[in-house]
Amino acid sequence: MPENKNNEFIRKEFQSVSKINKDYKTSPFEKYNGKFSASFSTIILGLMLGIIGLVILGYSEGIDNSLNTVRRSPLIHEENLLRTSGMIKLAGQPIIKQELKVPGFEDALIYYKKTTEEKIDGQWVEVNKQQVFASFSIGEIYIDASSADLQFDLVEIYKNETETQRDSVYGVLAKNEIVVVGELKDNSITDGVVFVVTNKSNKDLIDSMSKVDTMEWWIYKVGALLLITLGITAFVLPILTFVDILPRVGLFAIGMILLFSFLMSALLVFISAVIITFWWLIFVVVGLVIILLIRIKSKTKYSAISFIP
């Protein structure tokens, strides 16, 4: 028995020494070979996150641009319309070509929405939705609102409820003034960079869009900031493969990379906002630089000619 214990002890000691020798002979590149193989996947992930973040960032600037377009466009009533093309905010009484009516309701409508709900497991669930537009114009301008962003204050036209089904109709009265923001072309407004149809007043429209768009703007901005930060971090992360060789600076390096990624993302978000808001300033600066270069070139040419003997 003592001999067997001695043999077991010698065997364990031999395995321990062999493991130490193996680890000693292994080069850093062999030791971290698995991390090097994962670096390419990490870089691809970083690029994908960064691209998605930039797309969301661009979309958020489009939201801000839509609100600014509605806010800055002057409100023009149909009788004062002089323009024949371009973005416009037109207000006036709708002229309906064919009256749109709901049975049991006398007033003409330009739009109504009918919904059918059924009670399922004690909860009302929407099972059918129908939207109907009337063809109408404001003055001589034809409006096709089928693809517009509808900002309507709806009135209840009809409602019927049973134990298992609920039908409701809400609409917009044709006697109300309509405001349309869109692209005027060929005496019609059918689309535009911003295309809004509403029965709100100009002030109420801007206030309504400001509340919704400001919240969406911040959600998309924060989302883009996080995605771009993660993307840059994932792109730079393979550097940490080498940092693990020096454990004392590993945590510091991770913190610095995260800080660098966040600052770069914040800078991109800020630059995009400035470019969208002050796009005209970029053309002014570029124009001034071109004029300055031309003047410098002209002076240099004149100086070279004056020194010719």
User: What confidence tens digit (pLDDT) does each residue in 262-279 have?
Assistant: 888 788 777 776 766 666
Give the sign of the dihedral formed by CA 154, CA 160, CA 165, CA 167.
negative
Percent share of the chain, pLDDT over 90:
4
DSSP-based three-state secondary structure for 90? strand
Give the sign of the dihedral formed by CA 69, CA 74, CA 78, CA 84.
negative
Confidence at residue 20, expressed as pLDDT on a 0 to 100 scale: 43
Lowest mean pLDDT among 87-96, 145-154, 210-219, 248-257: 248-257
Q: Choose the most confident range, by mean pLDDT, from 51-60, 67-76, 129-138, 235-244.
A: 129-138
Is pLDDT of 130 > 70? yes
Contacts of 126 (CB under 8 A, 6+ apart): 115, 116, 117
Confidence at residue 245, expressed as pLDDT on a 0 to 100 scale: 47
Residue tagged 């992930």 (tokens): 45
Confidence at residue 291, expressed as pLDDT on a 0 to 100 scale: 86
Residue tagged 């002050």 (tokens): 278
Confidence at residue 131, expressed as pLDDT on a 0 to 100 scale: 86
227, 49 contact by CB (below 8 A)? yes
Confidence at residue 104, expressed as pLDDT on a 0 to 100 scale: 74
Taking the mean position of all CA atoms in its chain, how far away is CA 141? Answer: 32
pLDDT category at 9 given cuts 50, 70, 90 is very low
Give mean pLDDT, residues 42-54.
79
Is pLDDT of 120 > 80? yes
Give mean pLDDT, residues 108-122.
88
> Which of 149, 133, 140 lies closest to 188 in space, CA to CA?
140
Tokens of 229: 């930060």
Tokens of 184: 């005027």
Give mean pLDDT, residues 79-92.
83
Give mean pLDDT, residues 74-100.
83
Percent share of the chain, pLDDT over 70:
72
Q: What does pLDDT average to over the chain?
A: 75
Domain locations in the chain?
72-215, 278-309
Confidence at residue 111, expressed as pLDDT on a 0 to 100 scale: 87
Residues 116, 159: Cα–Cα separation, whole Å: 10
Reported as a single tens digit per residue, the pLDDT across 155-206 is: 888 888 888 899 899 988 888 899 999 999 888 898 888 889 999 988 888 8
> Which of 177, 182, 216 lies closest to 196 in space, CA to CA?
182
Confidence at residue 26, expressed as pLDDT on a 0 to 100 scale: 47
Give mean pLDDT, residues 116-139.
87
Tokens of 196: 């809004």
Residues 201, 309: Cα–Cα separation, whole Å: 76
Q: Choose the most confident range, by mean pLDDT, from 9-13, 142-146, 230-234.
A: 142-146
Tokens of 126: 């929407």
